[in-house]
Amino acid sequence: MRKIVAMPGDGIGKTVLPEAIRVLDAAGFEAEYIHGDIGWDFWINEGNALPERTIKLLEEHKVGLFGAITSKPKKEADDELSDKLKGKGYVYFSPIVAMRQHFNLDLCIRPCKSFKGNPLNFIIRTNNGFTEPMVNTVIFRQNTEGMYGGVEWTNPPKMVRDALDSHPKMKIFKNVKSEDMAVSTRIVTRYATERIMNAAFEYADKFGYKNVTVCEKPNVLRETSGMMISVAKEVAKKYPHIQLWDTNIDAQMMWLTKNPEIYGVIVAENMFGDIVSDAFAGLVGGLGFACSANIGENCAVFEPTHGSAPKYQELNPSIVNPIAMILSACMMLDYLGEKEKSDKIRNAVTKVIEEGKVKTYDMLKLKGGPDVFSKGACTTQQITDEIISKIKSKV
């Protein structure tokens, strides 16, 4: 039987992951879920939020379903570390970033798709009412390099400073002391760029998207965005039926609310991909609906975009929306070639949203809290049950 490493993590990760597994079971996906430890408790008690045993599990089974983790600023992290580990040199490191780096999960895919009838859908005001553009955009974000590659310094060492000073544009900084300088690099490599461009075009081809947009800033970031555009042009030659567009990240944000429905697949570097994927997610319902996949050459991890929402973790029954997690599980099914089962689940989610009989608090635009049920919101388990009953009624 297929084995999936299930890593609920912290807070509402522990609530939504089991709900997704219930839905996977209902759709007939047969798997054994092997629990993987990850998150804040393991930082506190072991000084490592991603224990070696969890890495081993992922190395062995290669597919992970992940909920969410809690992370806290440096001082709180140090204060909360258990007494027996304090002062022993433990430094908190984000387990998600660690996972992405260890397994080189370089492709981050974030589909942003409107569901008909979702009260959170973006609308455009017109002279005599409004229109509701149906967004169907899939963001391919380079997940390992670029601005978030981590190659950065405050007070760059002399070797680095000397190398920087060899660039003519450094003239304007020539009187700045290194200790008064912070540098973050934006390194883009041809190999990683080819991988993400190929993946984006393959995806557009497979799922019938008519355009791929490189969303960068090549007029200013001439080298890094420039390499991305030139690789995109090469890859595009293999797909004459798919248009290659390019937009500037700033202009894309402005056009976001003008005609978001025209964009198919969007490709961007790590930071720009982070921005553009959050922007598009906001048009289709926000965090309760935003799913994602992190895919490397040998391993893949599927997770909702949202965090652990600690303020809701104690609420019983739970109020949070499990759909982002359930749609992330669908992406896992697609990756495993189980398209029929993911279709079944997405159709059920689509029906539940369109019928609108059960809605989580976010879909009712309520402020979260224990009183949302008296205002018409359903529980996390109720909306999952409704999705499951739709799946079952189809069989």
Binding site for ligand NAI (CB under 6 A): 68-71, 96, 287-288, 303, 306-310, 312, 320-321, 324, 362, 368
- Which of Mg ion, ligand NAI, none has residue 69 at its interface (CB below 5 to 8 Å by kind)? ligand NAI
User: Is residue 274 a contact residue for Mg ion (CB under 5 A)?
Assistant: yes
Buried b (16+ CB within 10 A) or exposed e, 53-89: ebbebbeebbbbbbbbbbbeeeeebeeebeeeeeeee
User: Is residue 269 a contact residue for Mg ion (CB under 5 A)?
Assistant: no
Give whichever of 38 and 235 is closer to ligand NAI, judged by the CB atom.
38
Q: How far is the CB of 3 from ligand NAI (least distance, A)?
A: 23
Q: How far is the CB of 278 from Mg ion (least distance, A)?
A: 5
- Which of Mg ion, ligand NAI, none has residue 320 at its interface (CB below 5 to 8 Å by kind)? ligand NAI
Q: How far is the CB of 292 from ligand NAI (least distance, A)?
A: 9
In order of 44, 232, 313, the CA distances from 309 in angstroms are 19, 38, 7
Give whichever of 269 and 303 is closer to ligand NAI, judged by the CB atom.
303
Q: How far is the CB of 70 from ligand NAI (least distance, A)?
A: 4
User: Is residue 303 a contact residue for Mg ion (CB under 5 A)?
Assistant: no
Question: Which H or E run contains 242?
Answer: none
Rounded Cα distance, 173 and 159, in Å: 16
Q: How far is the CB of 352 from ligand NAI (least distance, A)?
A: 15
- Which of Mg ion, ligand NAI, none has residue 288 at its interface (CB below 5 to 8 Å by kind)? ligand NAI
- Which of Mg ion, ligand NAI, none has residue 274 at its interface (CB below 5 to 8 Å by kind)? Mg ion
DSSP state of 20: H
Question: Which amino acid is present at 244?
Answer: L
Half-sphere exposure of 251 (CA within 13 A, CB side): 10
Q: Is 43:92 a contact under the CB 8 Å cutoff?
A: yes
- 193 φ, ψ (degrees, to nearest 5): -70, -40
Specify the 3-state DSSP secondary structure of 201.
helix
Q: Is 295:103 a contact under the CB 8 Å cutoff?
A: no
- Which of ligand NAI, Mg ion, none has residue 21 at its interface (CB below 5 to 8 Å by kind)? none
Chain positions contacting Mg ion, by CB under 5 A: 274, 278
